[in-house]
Chains A and B, each alone.
Chain A
């Protein structure tokens, strides 16, 4: 659906002492986002996420490489490609002197929607974003989060098959954030492809089907979410909990050949470790542990959160 080929963007910056006068915001990115995916792009500040999304929408011309959306070259036929895209920028402003419904009405016409379908579609977008009470208010009087909601309403208004969202959750209250997540999932089920960036990794982890980690303009990791989440932990990760810290759990675990990277937790009454064996071996390990006198009160498999993977893989440096 979206395809980036060797996508490169070089910016000029004013040279300062010891720094080059140009920044490679994205460096030969290759990425393929399939239909009906929710593709998350994460990375530290200045990694090049916004730059990438803007090139996808045809707002920035790449220095080299190309982007196709639905098979259409964005640089050659921007209007054709933009028909398929709904875009939300990371920072934006709205027209303060318009009313909420007028704002949406403007974009509905600008996207050349069918005249007859427009009122219903505006109502839908307004109610989806919980803006009914503000329908006839001037935008100037909206709060930050309401403006964000209106921005999202605008992006989905013309029912585009591809949504490109740059930090859509910023400024939203917890409930709205949750609703946004549900809404995006719903859109995805209805067949939309979503390309999204966010710094709230837990949200992305919950809804993305695929993920890429970008750092200093390069991809450090990309793939299906399951793939990214487990690929380089050796085997499964298991947490064992004891009723009290009376047993040298870490030492006992560390002595076993199929256990690695033991991380004691809290008051040493529990530990997380990587385990190379299967279910039968795990059962045996637990039996041995109990037999050795450990007051085991819980065993569970844990997965690394995206947050943890991210901080492990990314240096977190900004450019």
Chain B
């Protein structure tokens, strides 16, 4: 169905765009444009080139549009599903014949429709700025495309949150989103580790200043500095790419992932939401890792794919990847966790095989397979790119990988178990307990000076394997047994939680051979 005849979009437009409202939005935008434009034109200092104020005006307008789209639009989308659930209008949407895609797209573009309108109302001002400032038209166009697609990505993510979000946490959800957006807003952050420019759509404000599409002539060292002038060049597996297509590609692909999650679930019963299938979630992580491996600063970019020494120590590089994957797999694991409803349904559908040991170890097999696969890929890349003189022992690297993998498995089996307990908001509580556990052990170990001695570090890893990130040959020798014990410890704890998980499953099994539902023969109908 063509998007403009999407009923959900039309409904949103009708509800939000009454004449009175449109006129006041347009009037506000016009007044703001005129006042700011006038002020800019008059505050031009004599030394500036004649069109300078135009460029600044364009940037201010564009910045306003970006804030409106990113914050206003995201807040609208954050409310899009959950407000309807709260108001009890959502069930009626679910029983219509709108496909999940139609419903999702209608909300994606419909919820922020006023914001889009306001952005349109600011366009004349932006146009004036662009013409006066002599901006390069294609670059301005590209900046708007970046802004639009970037906002859509943020909106799609907001829809996911809105769909998942439970009663009474709305303000919290909005805050989290704003913080996420702002933390991604610093322009120079990722260049330290990844050869990729800023990923947030605010970059469009800086883009309009560019007068050329040529890749930046800077050396990687200069490009590594916080940029005042954008060097719009990214490096992907040694290939220099322009940042704009990279950005657009990332936006489109991640919007796709987010929308997939929304459309898979939007029309389902919330008690059986499943963000992604296990394979899709693994696919998402493989994709993210592929991007990370590609954009990582493996070495000089002067000669693509040349065997240049890496700027970082191999173990540190592995630690970075392990650390990021630790959090990613934690999230993946959360997606895969089963709740009581799902277990009950499985038990009734699959019978005993839904409560056997394999089922009790869920989601460990997927997590292990995924982390090991991606960890080995990283190790391969490091082995290839590292300088021959640097310290790198494959066996020790594999040990580090194994310990991190078991660590994730341990914590997720714990979360899976607590998710089946009958406390209020089990997952949130499970999380709180984890945070308390990690912070108290960290304080305790620091007080006992355990982090300073190799054996002490190995000992802390029994509880919280974070020390494994700093594990190199120096720490390993002499403490091997302790490290192996630490690994065994993870296995034992994981097994214990799997056992407890199994007990919960058995509890949920339907009572065997219960009395037949209707004792007395009922008069039949018909």
Q: Which residues of A contact B (CB under 8 A)?
A: 6, 8, 10, 12, 14-15, 21, 27-34, 54, 57-61, 63-64, 78-79, 82-83, 85, 87, 89, 91-95, 97-98, 102, 106-107, 109-112, 154, 210, 218-219, 221-224, 227-228, 231
Contacts and interface: CB of A to CB of B under 8 A. Distances in A.
A32 B11 contact: no
A151 to B, nearest CB: 9
A71 to B, nearest CB: 16
Contact of A106 (B11, B523, B524): B11
Contacts of B424: 14
Interface stretch (B265-273, B300-308, B396-404, B466-474): B265-273
Given A78-B267, A106-B11, A59 B525 contact: no
B245 interface: no
B195 interface: no
B341 A93 contact: no
Nearest to A103: B11
Contacts of A12: 340-341, 422
Interface string B239-254: 0000000000000000
A210 B269 CA distance: 29
Interface string B1-14: 00001011011001
B489 interface: no
A98 B15 contact: yes
Interface in B80-108: 87-89, 91-99
A85 B95 contact: yes
Contacts of A59: 91, 94-95, 269
A63 B272 CA distance: 10
Interface in B512-526: 516-518, 522-526
A30 B517 CA distance: 9
A221 B97 CA distance: 34
A13 to B, nearest CB: 9
Contacts, number: 122
The majority secondary structure among interface residues of chain A is mixed
B124 interface: no
B345 interface: yes
B510 interface: yes
Contacts of B191: none
29 contacts: A12-B341, A15-B422, A27-B517, A29-B517, A30-B517, A59-B269, A60-B269, A60-B271, A63-B344, A63-B348, A64-B344, A64-B345, A64-B349, A85-B95, A87-B92, A89-B91, A91-B88, A92-B88, A95-B11, A95-B89, A97-B16, A98-B11, A98-B14, A102-B11, A110-B8, A110-B93, A110-B98, A221-B523, A224-B523
A60 B269 CA distance: 5
Contacts of B7: 106, 109-110
A228 B526 CA distance: 13
Contacts of B88: 89, 91-93
Interface size class of B (residues with CB under 8 A): 35 or more
Nearest to B339: A12
Contacts of B87: 93
Nearest to B86: A93
Contacts of A107: 92, 96
A32 B92 contact: no
Given A14-B422, A29-B517, A221 B522 contact: yes
Contacts of A82: 95-97
Interface in B468-526: 510, 516-518, 522-526
Contact of B525 (A29, A93, A210): A210
Contacts of B91: 54, 59, 87, 89, 92
A27 B515 CA distance: 11
Contacts of B92: 87, 89, 92, 107, 154
B89 A93 contact: yes
Interface string B429-443: 000000000000000
**Those 9 A-B pairs whose CB atoms lie nearest each other, nearest first:** A28-B517, A109-B7, A110-B96, A223-B523, A64-B348, A97-B15, A61-B269, A21-B422, A106-B11
A142 to B, nearest CB: 15
A34 B99 contact: no
A156 B20 CA distance: 33
Contact of A223 (B10, B89, B272, B524): B524
Given A28-B517, A64-B510, 14 more contacts: A21-B422, A31-B525, A33-B525, A58-B95, A64-B345, A82-B95, A83-B97, A93-B87, A95-B11, A106-B7, A107-B92, A109-B10, A222-B522, A231-B523
B517 A223 contact: no
Query: Most chain-B CB neighbours within 10 Å: which of A30, A63, A87, A222?
Result: A63
Interface in B89-137: 89, 91-99
B345 A32 contact: no
B271 A61 contact: yes
Query: Most chain-B CB neighbours within 10 Å: which of A34, A93, A210, A227?
Result: A93
B11 A219 contact: no
Contacts of B96: 82, 107, 110-111
Given A30-B517, A107-B96, A95 B15 contact: yes
B249 to A, nearest CB: 32
B15 A61 contact: no
Nearest to A224: B525
A313 to B, nearest CB: 12
A134 B97 CA distance: 27
A58 B349 CA distance: 18
Nearest to B523: A223
Contacts of A79: 97, 99, 267
A278 to B, nearest CB: 23
B345 A102 contact: no
Interface in B147-204: none
Contacts of B349: 64
Contacts of B340: 12
A81 B323 CA distance: 47
Query: Most chain-B CB neighbours within 10 Å: which of A12, A34, A221?
Result: A12
Contacts of A8: 348
A189 B387 CA distance: 85
A61 B95 contact: no
Interface in B54-101: 87-89, 91-99
Nearest to B14: A102
A57 B92 CA distance: 10
Nearest to B89: A93
B525 A111 contact: no
Contact of B345 (A57, A61, A111, A228): A61
Nearest to A109: B7
Query: Most chain-A CB neighbours within 10 Å: which of B10, B14, B95?
Result: B95
A169 B111 CA distance: 33
Contacts of B272: 61
B292 to A, nearest CB: 37
Interface in B258-280: 267-269, 271-272
Contacts of A6: 517
A29 B424 CA distance: 30
Nearest to A218: B517
Contacts of A224: 523, 525
Nearest to A10: B344
A12 B15 CA distance: 37
